[in-house]
Amino acid sequence: MPYVCTHCACVACGFAAQQEFACGWCNTRTLILKPFLLQEILNVVIDWVRLYLMIGLGHRDAPNLLVVFVLFYSLLYLEIFVRACWCAHRLV
């Protein structure tokens, strides 16, 4: 008996986006969602590649990895501070 890709089977196995992207091409109602499903799959792949690159950079050049973390966390805290001041100014 051939495997039939249904919504319940996709959710049960935990790979809903991947199976819908691979198996659901005949369903014309979901064709508009295919670019978004592909983007979701690529985002997951990029997250795993980013982990590999961060570990590699930490192993090869730890001081520069620390500089990158400090730079981006300082940018994050600057944005939070500016936003908090802007919201506090609007409340007064």
Task: Look at residue 74 and give its three-state secondary structure.
Answer: helix
Whether the Cβ atoms of residue 20 and residue 10 lie closer than 8 Å to each other: yes
Please tell me what DSSP assigns to residue 14: T
Question: Tens of pLDDT along 14-54?
Answer: 566 666 666 666 666 677 777 888 899 999 999 999 889 88
Question: Tens of pLDDT along 55-72?
Answer: 998 899 999 999 999 999
Question: Tens of pLDDT along 72-83?
Answer: 999 999 999 999
Radius of gyration of the chain, Cα coordinates, nearest whole angstrom = 22
**Cβ-proximal residues to 17 (8 Å cutoff; 6+ apart), any chain:** 37, 40, 41
Q: Is the whole model's pTM more than 0.95, yes or no? A: no
Q: What angle do CA 74, 76, 80 make, to 5 degrees?
A: 115
Whether the Cβ atoms of residue 30 and residue 13 lie closer than 8 Å to each other: no
